[in-house]
A and B are shown apart, each in its own frame.
Chain A
Amino acid sequence: MEKLSLFLGCIVPNRYPGIEKATKLCLQKLDIDVSDLPGASCCPAPGVFKSFDKATWLALASRNIVLSEKMGRDVLTVCNGCYGSLADANLELKKDPELKARTNNCLKEIGMEFKGTVEVRHIIEYLYKEFGPEKLKEYITTSLDLKVALHYGCHLIKPSRDRNLGETEAPVFFDELVEATGAKSVDYTDKMMCCGAGGGVRSGHNTESLEMLEHKLACIRQAGVDCIVNACPFCHLQFDRGQLAVNEKFEMDYSIPVLHYSQLLGLALGFSPSDLGIEQNAVQNVEFLAKIYEISEGLK
């Protein structure tokens, strides 16, 4: 396995540090060689930067990749949006010499050069391809008796031609990683629908964004699950903080706990909810917290 650098992006270190902590604990437990990526910036956010100016998007994305190239490490992200920017930019620059030359012309101003020597990985595709559910099970010490509504998100699976993750209309790879922890991935209506946050929608069209979220939450509640699991901090923020906004705007009473996969896996690897920052979420569901503490302490 290649050595990795952990690309944090914006929302993980600056709003949900529990995901950062959980990811580091999991990677250490799985004996994966990973280091910090000092000086990394916003990926930059594909919804705004790629949409408005591709040259800027490539310049900032390539700078982040070059930081990892200098360390001789592949980039690991725990965010679908960051994956969408970094993996797509990396691929475009490797494929198109003219685009690479234009981007390097910008990077020259800060003494950098994109060489195209590393890969960009998402933690879910990394774990699926490098470990797989069966190998992952060998590390599990706490089987999780939880029913989970899994949210794949968009950039993890699209553009499908570049992801090489098999079926992308009804994918199963992430479900298999969830079920490796002992949890049950429960099917629900419109499972593959966007959470409503990405593409600049949450920031620019908040009402529509919350309407999309409310629809997903209604479908998830109907499925009768313990929690939502995602692999993207922007989806995580939308489901967690957005849930409170939905309650206020539409006079609803949702209280569905939200975990990033690193936090779910962390529980199954024997870490406590407090180690993983699960209690720092905006949604405070006392019953769920009691349940995962019982599981974590071996009482259930």
Chain B
Amino acid sequence: MLPEHRKVSEMVMEFGHSVPLDEETKKKREELGLDPIPETVQKYPEALQEVRTLLKVCRFDELTAEK
């Protein structure tokens, strides 16, 4: 696995998204009249925990860990 692809995997493990929200986009969302935090896993800690549990159950964390 390339380090760049490992990074993508780590992002999903940490944030539930391969491309997580940043401050610049929060501002863009507000400019558009959208909630700064979208209705995704980022807004719901229990949803993020579900994603992490699945990754663990599938042992994806072990598969993508640096060896």
Contact = CB atoms under 8 A, between A and B. Distances in A.
A and B associate in one complex: yes
A15 B23 CA distance: 10
Contact of B57 (A49, A59, A200): A59
Contacts of B38: 8, 13-14, 17, 20
A286 interface: no
A40 interface: yes
A194 interface: no
Interface stretch (A31-39, A246-254, A292-300): A31-39
Contacts of B55: 56, 60
Contacts of A14: 17, 19-22, 25, 38
Given A10-B19, A20-B34, A20-B38, A110 B53 contact: yes
B39 A109 contact: no
Tell me if B's interface is mostly helix, strand, loop or mixed: helix
Given A11-B19, A41-B12, A42-B17, A48 B41 contact: no
B66 interface: no
A55 B58 contact: yes
Interface in A179-204: 200, 203-204
B25 A15 contact: yes
Given A48-B8, A48-B18, A52-B5, A17 B60 contact: no
Interface of A: 8, 10-11, 13-15, 17-18, 20-21, 36-42, 44-45, 48-49, 52-53, 55-56, 59-60, 63, 106-107, 109-110, 112, 200, 203-204, 275, 277, 280
19 contacts: A11-B19, A13-B21, A13-B38, A13-B40, A14-B21, A20-B38, A39-B47, A41-B40, A41-B41, A42-B16, A45-B18, A53-B60, A60-B55, A107-B54, A200-B4, A200-B8, A203-B4, A204-B5, A280-B32
Interface of B: 1-2, 4-5, 7-9, 12, 16-22, 25, 28-29, 31-34, 38-41, 43-44, 46-48, 50-51, 53-55, 57-58, 60, 63-64
Ordered nearest first, which 7 A-B pairs have the shortest CB separation?
Answer: A39-B47, A13-B38, A36-B39, A10-B19, A41-B16, A56-B58, A41-B41
